[in-house]
Chains A and B, each alone.
Chain A
Amino acid sequence: MIRKRVETFAEAMTGLKDGAVVMVGGFGAVGQPNALVEALLEQGARDITIVANNAGTGRVAALPRLMAAGRVRKIICSFPRSQGSVVFDELHKAGKLELELVPQGTLAERIRAAGAGIPAFYTPTAYGTVLAEGKETREIDGRMYVLERALHADVALVEAWQADRWGNLTYRLSGRNFNPIMATAAKLTIAQAQHFVELGDLDPEAIVTPGIYVDRVIHVPYGDPPPAMANPD
């Protein structure tokens, strides 16, 4: 019998090691698995590489606190700078946090490719820019492309709307973002779900992440994301 639901955060984080590459879902504050990042902070792993679209805002959210605690060595993201990204800015300027800046679509496709067994791919994005420097390029049918490699993770932390005991997941509106692709790209995928439902309650056609990609589910009725900033960057 498959039971992927766990009851405690300690159980959810079991086996997470120092030096792990950890994907964190979310776009801004929406669909971000904050409770699991808190649990990672609690769990104690160090020397972490974070893969996330943004580097968090403010000082109280889980991701900035993880960085402020000196637990993150490197962040791979597309848009670290935003209004209120103070912790990232300080650590990066002080040389204490390495940044690998990746165009957002390339970041998404590198993650997708990892989950789909594609080791590398050619993309037109960033050709002729500093973000393609040092990368292999190739002309295909008269256009220039940049070779990008798949991005694998040890652990993916995702936020879902609904989950069942097989680990089938749905998402809510903009909470979908990177979560479904990150779930496919890690050796260990841990989901926090707002609602835990009985097996069979989810419409097979509405399941976005089938349970094959998910290892552990914890029920966290986290509530709605905070209102967006009035004048974001």
Chain B
Amino acid sequence: MTRTTAAPRVQDHGVESVAPLSRAAMAERLAGDIPDGWYVNLGIGIPLLVGNFIPEDREVILQSENGLLGMGPLQQPGELNTWIVNAGKQNVTLRTGAAIVHHADSFAMIRGGHLDLCVLGAFEVAENGDFANWTTSLTKAVPAVGGAMDLAAGAKRVWLLMDHTSKDGTSKLVKTCTLPLTAVTAVKRIYTNLAVIDVSERGFEVLDIVPGLSFEGLQARTGAKLHRPGG
């Protein structure tokens, strides 16, 4: 298994020295929480990194929305088979035991609650589990939704893998989403570069914080109230 190092420590307004996780480290943190035997869909973009960090002693079956069950890593130069693509239209491999289905069957797997987990990226997530990940503007950008809404509505669990704040420091974890929603009350857990947070009846429940950051420091970077687990 590839080991990753955290991003360099940054000085945080002279108060705390915080080391946000790199994207690879976030993906590795999430991958470590996926149990043996789960069927998992990884959204395009950063969530696909999770596939690189599944511990080798676990069989986790990756599904790709275009009809692959048992997706393997990206193809290496020299083994190019352009007939196999993943949801991001990258040339990938199939694991031994893989199956291929058509689109309606693939989304029956997704919508029918057969996937244990779906990992998606997000622009915004609210304390009630609403989230937005498909477009930042209905007027300025050409919209494209793909399978995000089906995955969000259908998987047994939706975990988000995302930065805690935008580059200007604005929290992506909010009381109420302002961007066009992908799904309502769908998110169960959030892995950010600063923390791991469950979405419960009470709202955001903090499970884990990166070293060097206090609960209060995390709260200062979060746009909704945080709860201590069980507290």
Contacts and interface: CB of A to CB of B under 8 A. Distances in A.
Interface in A92-139: 92-93, 99, 101-106, 108-109, 111-112, 123-131
A167 B144 CA distance: 34
A116 B98 CA distance: 27
Question: Chain B interface secondary structure, helix, strand, loop or mixed?
Answer: loop
A180 interface: yes
Contact of A174 (B66, B88, B110): B66
Interface stretch (B9-17, B31-39, B76-84, B161-169): B76-84
A108 B83 contact: no
Contacts of B44: 232-233
A43 interface: no
B111 A228 contact: no
B181 A129 contact: yes
Contacts of B153: 123-127
A181 B103 contact: yes
A225 interface: yes
Nearest to B147: A104
A199 to B, nearest CB: 24
A75 to B, nearest CB: 12
Nearest to B132: A129
Contact of A228 (B89, B110, B149, B154): B89
Contacts of B145: 78-79, 101-104, 131
Interface of B: 44, 65-68, 80-85, 88-91, 94, 100-104, 106-107, 110-111, 130, 138, 141-150, 153-154, 180-184
Closest 7 CB pairs of A and B: A105-B150, A105-B107, A128-B184, A81-B144, A28-B89, A112-B104, A173-B83
